[in-house]
């Protein structure tokens, strides 16, 4: 990967250093989607996990194991290519989807290399000047030859899981199971292939720094190396998520926090690096259409529980966040708290 420059300011800034005392535990709930629970019990378990943790794992989820193995194998093959080959599909400010790493920057806070592709190709988002929409196209590499097919087959299966999970979350909020379906007709969802090489400075770097996901829901496939940590809501401790074979890790994003008027909250998480083993993961970020106005759902607000957020346009929010990948910001990147109503 070629990351060989360390940012001195990063090394000296203690607030960026990983906390060394980590609770190693199963932590987040493990939910079986197809065995043992009645429909009502499953809805209650999903609701409890969303409320107490904002994270949970699912097994017996319906995604065929061979589809997952195929995309994982293709991702490993892609990241094993020479850097020059991978950079043929490198992202830039015009083509925002594709490959990138941290070799060209002194910022090693995120110690990884990545390949992004959108579920819809092209995906429609607002133009930077605010006048109409633009199209973002996927960039597919020549090697490995089956990467595109493996990715597209995998996406079809994970989309089915997302629809099921969003239905269960809706029911747990007292809403119809199909309440969220209309938001995703022209989805801006995307998938990220992550590769975290062994890191010679694991006490100073992170695979991904602490953050919350801006979209609706994230469905994560991770290998057996582990490294994902979740900030426990009850006491603020970082909990290492122990890998469960064939499971997916699910987390609530900021959009569900707003839609639910904070009945469910997105939770901070991060990824630790490993000095000896490389790690691979594949998050699917479920995002609504660019024209979606995100606001608390009317069914979940009343005089006693008024809306805690002003409406915001998802497309503008999304493109602003994406734009920060290419331009240094002088202010904090856009966050949902910028739309929170003052109490």
Each residue's pLDDT tens digit, 287-335? 999 999 999 999 999 999 999 999 999 999 999 988 665 445 454 578 9
Using one digit for the tens of pLDDT, what is the confidence trace for 175-225? 999 999 999 999 999 999 999 999 888 777 778 889 999 999 999 999 999
pLDDT in the model for residue 100: 93
Question: Who's near 265: CB < 8 A, 6+ residues apart?
Answer: 54, 233, 252, 257
Q: Report yes or no on 297 lying in a domain.
A: yes
Main-chain phi, psi angles of 168, to 5 degrees: -65, -40
Predicted pLDDT of residue 129: 76
In a domain, 255, yes or no: yes
Range of the domain at 101: 8-339
Residues 6+ apart with CB under 8 A from 276: 198
Does residue 3 form part of some domain? Answer: no
- Give the number of domains in the chain: 1
Assess if residue 1 is contained within a domain. Answer: no
CATH number for the domain including 195? 2.60.120.330
Q: What's the start-to-end Cα distance of the chain, in Å? A: 48
| Within-domain flag for 2 | no
Identify the CA nearest to 217 among candidates 175, 260, 276: 260
Which residues, listed in sequence order, are joined to residue 31 by a DSSP beta bridge?
58
pLDDT, residue 109, reads: 62
* Residue 343 pLDDT level (bands cut at 50, 70, 90): low
Scanning the chain, the segments in alpha helix (DSSP H) are 8-12, 39-52, 65-79, 83-86, 147-172, 254-259, 314-323
pTM above 0.85, yes or no: yes
Q: Does 109 fall in a domain?
A: yes
d(CA 173, CA 219): 20
């Amino acid at each position: 990967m070629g990351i060989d420059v360390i940012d001195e300011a990063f090394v000296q800034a203690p607030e960026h250093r990983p906390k060394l005392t980590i609770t190693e535990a199963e932590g987040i709930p493990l939910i079986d989607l197809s065995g043992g629970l009645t429909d009502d019990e499953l809805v209650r378990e999903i609701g409890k996990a969303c409320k107490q943790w904002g994270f949970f794992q699912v097994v017996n989820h319906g995604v065929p194991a061979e589809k997952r193995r195929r995309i994982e194998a293709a991702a490993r093959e892609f990241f094993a290519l020479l850097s020059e080959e991978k950079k043929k599909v490198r992202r830039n400010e015009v083509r925002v989807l594709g490959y990138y790493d941290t070799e060209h920057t002194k910022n090693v806070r995120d110690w990884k290399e990545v390949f992004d592709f959108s579920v819809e190709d092209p995906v429609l988002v607002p133009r930077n000047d605010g006048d109409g929409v633009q199209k973002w196209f996927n960039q597919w590499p020549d090697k490995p030859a089956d990467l595109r097919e493996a990715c597209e087959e995998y996406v079809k299966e994970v989309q089915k899981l997302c629809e099921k999970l969003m239905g269960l979350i809706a029911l747990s909020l007292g809403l119809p199971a199909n309440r969220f379906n209309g938001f995703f007709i022209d989805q801006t969802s995307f998938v990220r292939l992550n590769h975290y090489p062994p890191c010679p400075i694991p006490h100073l770097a992170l695979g991904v720094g602490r953050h919350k996901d801006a979209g609706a829901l994230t469905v994560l496939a991770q290998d057996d190396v582990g490294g994902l940590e979740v900030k426990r809501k009850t006491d603020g401790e970082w909990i290492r998520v122990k890998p469960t074979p064939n499971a997916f890790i699910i987390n609530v994003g900021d959009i569900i926090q707003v839609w639910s008027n904070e009945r469910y909250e997105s939770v901070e998480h991060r990824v630790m690096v490993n000095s000896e083993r490389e790690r691979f993961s594949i998050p699917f970020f479920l995002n609504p259409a660019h024209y979606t106005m995100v606001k608390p759902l009317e069914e979940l607000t009343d005089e006693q529980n008024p809306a805690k957020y002003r409406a915001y346009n998802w497309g503008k929010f999304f493109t602003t966040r994406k734009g920060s990948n290419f331009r240094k910001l002088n202010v904090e990147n856009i966050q949902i708290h910028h739309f929170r109503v003052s109490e």
